[in-house]
Amino acid sequence: MPFVRIDTLGTDAARLDALGRAVHEALVETIGIPSNDRFQVLTGHDGVHSTLRHDDYLGVPRDEGIVYVAITMRSGRTPERKQALYRRIAELAHAYAGTEPRNVFVTVTENESADWSLGHGLAQYTGTPPS
C-alpha cells in the first residue's frame, strides 16, 4: 500500500487530479498494487503563502512546472521495477497533466509491514491482533 504525496506549484484541481491519476496508474502498472489501493495527498502551492524550490541539479533543467512526488511503500521492489515506475510516472504526468518529464521529481521511501496502520489503530500487515 503506497502512500503518495504530490506537491506542485500554481496548479488547479484538474491538474492535481490528473497528476494523482498518473502516479496511481503507474503504481498499478509497474509495481502491481491493487487498483483500489489509492492513498494520496495532493497539494498545490500558490508561490506566495507556500512554494517549492528547485535547481538544475545533475544537469536537469527545472522550472515552475516542477512536480514533487513522494512515495512511501513497503520494501521489496527491485531497482528495475523502481526505474520502470519513475519512467511511467513521467510519461503519464506528461500525457495527463502536460508536465514536462524533466520536471517530475520522484522519491521512494521504503519501510516494513509494522510501520503501517490502515485504521482502527491496528497494524494490519503484521497479522498480529491488538493486545
Query: Which residues carry out catalysis?
Result: 2
Q: Under a CB-based contact definition with an 8 Å cutoff, are residues 41 and 6 in contact?
A: yes
Distance CA(98)–CA(111), nearest Å, equals 32
Distance CA(28)–CA(20), nearest Å, equals 12
C-alpha cell at 58: 545533475
Q: Under a CB-based contact definition with an 8 Å cutoff, are residues 43 and 81 in contact?
A: no
Q: Give me the half-sphere count of Cα atoms (radius 13 Å) on the Cβ side of residue 89.
A: 26
Distance CA(33)–CA(96), nearest Å, equals 20
Tell me the β-bridge partners of 105: 68
